[in-house]
């Protein structure tokens, strides 16, 4: 890409790729690691599309030197990865032993990144809860216990790595943890009211209990960081939320209102705090996070859920409010929003990619929920910045090419549809920064490698690097090469 000033990223911009521990590490029983809730869950027949699990994944626990070398070849400035809680504390709890080999692994990894001039950007929790905590007290369902255990685990990480790690994310996408893990039951621990899917669970109450625990656990970890570490470690800490841009399906009053409703919620939020979630996306996914920014759940959510939505005590609120230093944004697509529907997990709003005239919003990905519509990305960035005036860290953004897994490697690496996607989103990013003046400070395409795509198994590939799971050999795709050029 021609590097005219307006097409360049700011000097200190953090640019790199993202991954998560369970999706890449494998080595589930190596060096004292305890199980996470995904280990056994992925092995239950029917839980992953291809019946495969995370035992090996991209073998990155063993191949980390090779991974760092490839990241250096790509020339990334930063790398977003997550720490596996059950490698650090195999049984997870505050009175359980700490595993020095787990600490050592991430120490080595962080040192190697820094030797290559790559800034570590660390997620403390990307969905891999220690199995022992789930078995012991119900994991995220037990607010009192999980807050203390998560805060303790976080403290152990700040203490061990905070001299070198200056960018922390507490939780990845709490909406997914609560709704997909305890509502729809498609992610571990797979609880749901649907008895075909799960022998226990209650989809109408548990997601909101879990959401509440997540918010509080996040906030307590931030408190620990700010009080005990930030004064001498000088890093930043926040949460990252999933949320896509949403446009009214058509110009009918009720559909405009569906989008506007969300805007109103967000405006209320920004009056009180310097930052908040995207209004339109908040309607769907971020509402759970309002308390972090606003200090209360949105009225619409309270109306919808009544006393199924837990209340915060005033002591809890004091910890929760303002507990994110920046806006962490994972975004993939744009939806057309229509009023109605009975899905509480979507705020009683219905989403589609099919316009009223029958055309599609953009090219379709392998996964049903994803189409390529870069203009929505620019709009979302602008919306967040105009309303909340807080720095935005784009911590995930990516595309899974339809049918890529069925192609021979030589074809799969020519991932034109992914290049198209990133050409669009990086142009939108540059335009938002250089033309619209949006304060975006990081961009992490998902993902560095093809990897274990949760309930999709290995069938859906999001990598900018192809992984041959037979040999574990890595092959940079055209999209990876494209992204290097944009960054320079
Ligand atoms: C990210 O989530 C994850 O952080 C990452 O681990 C993952 O590999 C990556 O996406 C690619 O999927 O609402 O029932 O239709 C992105 C947000 C939210 C997108 C859930 C898919 C589908 C479930 N995801 N959504 S549903």
Residue among 132, 142, 133, 107 nearest 122 (CA): 107
Between 336 and 55, residue with greater pLDDT: 55
- Residues 235 and 225 sit within 8 Å (Cβ to Cβ): yes
Asked whether residue 263 carries a pLDDT value surpassing 60, the answer given is no
**How many degrees, rounded to 5, is the angle at CA 152 between CA 104 and CA 455?**
75
Which residues in 53-75 are b (16+ Cβ under 10 Å) and which e?
A: bbebbbbbbebbeebbebbbebb
What is the Å distance from ligand 1's center to 288 Cα?
A: 16
Which residues in 288-316 are b (16+ Cβ under 10 Å) and which e?
A: bbbbbbbbbbbebbeeebeeebbebeeeb
Cα-Cα-Cα-Cα torsion 222, 240, 263, 342, nearest 10 degrees, comes to -110
- Which segment, 263-277, 292-306, 309-323, is predicted with the most confidence on average? 309-323
Average pLDDT over residues 199-219: 94
| Residue with CA closest to ligand 1 atom 17 | 242
Cα-Cα-Cα-Cα torsion 338, 339, 343, 345, nearest 10 degrees, comes to 80
What is the Å distance from ligand 1's center to 298 Cα?
A: 23
- Distance between CA atoms of 3 and 116, rounded to whole angstroms? 24
CA atoms within 13 A of residue 470's CA, in its CB half-sphere = 2
User: Is the link from the previous residue into 116 a cis peptide, with omega within 30 of 0?
Assistant: no
Ligand 1 atom at minimal distance to the Cα of residue 184: 14
- Cβ of 173 below 6 Å from ligand 1: yes
Give the pLDDT score at 351.
85
Active site residue 227: no
Q: Give start and end residues of each alpha helix (H) in 398-487.
A: 409-412, 416-430, 478-487
| Residue with CA closest to ligand 1 atom 15 | 369
Digit-coded pLDDT (tens) for 325-381: 998 999 999 988 888 878 877 777 788 999 999 999 999 999 999 999 999 999 989
Domain that holds residue 137: 5-487
Give the pLDDT score at 435.
96
Average pLDDT over residues 64-77: 98
- Cβ of 462 below 6 Å from ligand 1: yes
Asked whether residue 268 carries a pLDDT value surpassing 50, the answer given is no
- Cβ of 396 below 6 Å from ligand 1: yes
Q: 288: Cβ–Cβ under 8 A, 6 or more apart, which residues?
A: 174, 175, 178, 211, 214, 215, 297, 301
What is the Å distance from ligand 1's center to 234 Cα?
A: 31
Q: Which of 169, 171, 332 to mutate to test the pocket of ligand 1 (most atoms within 8 A of CB)?
A: 332
Give the pLDDT score at 386.
83
Q: What is the mean pLDDT of the chain?
A: 90
Confidence of residue 22 (pLDDT cuts 50, 70, 90): very high
Least confident of 131-145, 161-175, 315-329, 397-411: 315-329
Give the pLDDT score at 288.
54
Per-residue tokens: 215: 């918010």
pTM higher than 0.75, yes or no?
yes
Q: Which of 22, 24, 173 to mutate to test the pocket of ligand 1 (most atoms within 8 A of CB)?
A: 173
Asked whether residue 291 carries a pLDDT value surpassing 80, the answer given is no
Give the pLDDT score at 132.
99
- Distance between CA atoms of 68 and 66, rounded to whole angstroms? 5
Digit-coded pLDDT (tens) for 383-418: 888 877 789 999 999 999 999 999 999 999 999 999
Ligand 1 atom at minimal distance to the Cα of residue 447: 8
Give the pLDDT score at 401.
98
Between 330 and 60, residue with greater pLDDT: 60
Which residues in 333-361 are b (16+ Cβ under 10 Å) and which e?
A: bbbbbbbeeeebebbbbbbebeeeeeeeb
Give the pLDDT score at 259.
62
Per the listing, tokens 């919808």 go with: 304
- Distance between CA atoms of 34 and 250, rounded to whole angstroms? 50
What is the Å distance from ligand 1's center to 454 Cα?
A: 9
| Residue with CA closest to ligand 1 atom 7 | 453
- Residues 25 and 61 sit within 8 Å (Cβ to Cβ): yes
Average pLDDT over residues 454-472: 98
Query: CA–CA distance from 27 to each of 30, 46, 64, 102, 134 (Å)?
Result: 5, 23, 12, 12, 21
CA atoms within 13 A of residue 417's CA, in its CB half-sphere = 19
The residue annotated as part of the active site, out of 25, 246, 366, 396, is: 396
Distance of CA 396 to the CA centre of its chain: 6
- Cβ of 192 below 6 Å from ligand 1: no
- Cβ of 366 below 6 Å from ligand 1: no
DSSP code at position 83: -
Q: Give start and end residues of each alpha helix (H) in 75-205.
A: 85-88, 100-115, 131-137, 143-161, 174-175, 181-182
Total domain count, the chain = 1
Query: CA–CA distance from 467 to each of 367, 404, 422, 459, 480 (Å)?
Result: 19, 12, 19, 12, 13
Tell me whether residue 95 is exposed, middle or buried, using C-beta atoms within 10 angstroms of its C-beta: 0 to 12, 13 to 18, 19 or more: exposed
Question: CA quadruple 61, 58, 16, 244: dihedral positive or negative?
Answer: negative
Per-residue tokens: 296: 């209360």
Least confident of 59-68, 139-148, 169-178, 272-281: 272-281
Q: CATH number for the domain including 42?
A: 3.20.20.80
Give the pLDDT score at 276.
31
Active site residue 206: no
- Cβ of 451 below 6 Å from ligand 1: no
């Amino acid at each position: 890409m021609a590097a005219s000033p307006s097409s360049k990223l700011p000097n200190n911009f953090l640019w790199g790729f993202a991954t998560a521990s369970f999706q890449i590490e494998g080595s589930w029983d190596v060096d004292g690691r305890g199980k996470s809730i995904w280990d056994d869950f992925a092995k239950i027949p029917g839980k992953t599309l291809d019946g495969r699990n995370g035992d090996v994944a991209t073998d990155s626990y063993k191949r980390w030197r090779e991974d760092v070398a490839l990241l250096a070849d790509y020339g990334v400035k930063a790398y977003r990865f997550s720490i596996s809680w059950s490698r650090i504390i195999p049984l997870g709890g505050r009175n359980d032993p700490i595993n020095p080999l787990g600490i050592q692994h991430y120490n080595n990894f962080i040192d190697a990144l820094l030797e290559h001039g790559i800034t570590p950007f660390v997620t403390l929790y990307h969905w891999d809860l220690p199995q022992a905590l789930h078995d012991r007290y119900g994991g995220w369902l037990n607010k009192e216990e999980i807050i203390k255990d998560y805060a303790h685990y976080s403290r152990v990480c700040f203490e061990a790595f905070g001299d070198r790690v200056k960018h922390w994310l507490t939780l990845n996408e709490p909406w997914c943890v609560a709704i997909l893990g305890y509502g729809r039951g498609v992610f571990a621990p797979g609880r749901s009211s649907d008895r075909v899917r799960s022998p226990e669970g209650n989809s109408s109450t548990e997601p909101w209990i879990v959401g509440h625990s997540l918010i509080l656990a996040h906030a307590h970890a931030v408190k620990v960081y700010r009080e005990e570490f930030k004064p001498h470690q000088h890093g930043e800490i926040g949460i990252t939320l999933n949320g896509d841009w949403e446009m009214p399906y058509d110009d009918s009053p009720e559909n405009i209102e569906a989008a506007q409703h969300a805007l109103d919620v967000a405006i209320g939020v920004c009056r009180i705090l310097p930052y908040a979630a995207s209004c339109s996306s908040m309607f769907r996914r971020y509402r759970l996070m309002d308390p972090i920014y606003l200090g209360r759940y949105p009225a619409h959510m309270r109306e919808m859920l009544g006393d199924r939505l837990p209340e915060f005590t005033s002591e809890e609120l004091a910890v929760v409010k303002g507990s994110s230093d920046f806006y962490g944004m994972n975004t993939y697509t744009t939806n057309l929003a229509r009023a109605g529907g009975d899905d509480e997990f979507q705020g009683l709003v219905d989403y589609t990619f099919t316009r009223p005239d029958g055309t599609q919003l953009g090219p379709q990905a392998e996964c049903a929920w994803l189409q390529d519509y870069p203009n929505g990305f620019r709009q979302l960035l602008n919306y967040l910045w105009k309303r909340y005036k807080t720095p935005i860290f784009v911590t995930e953004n990516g595309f899974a090419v339809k049918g890529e897994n069925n192609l021979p490697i030589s074809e799969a690496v020519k991932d034109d549809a992914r290049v198209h996607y990133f050409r669009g989103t990086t142009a939108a990013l540059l335009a938002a920064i250089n033309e619209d003046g949006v304060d975006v400070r990081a961009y992490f395409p998902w993902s560095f490698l093809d990897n274990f795509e949760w309930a999709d198994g290995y069938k859906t590939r999001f990598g900018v690097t192809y992984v041959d799971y037979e040999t574990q050999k890595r092959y940079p795709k055209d999209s990876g090469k494209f992204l290097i050029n944009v960054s320079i």
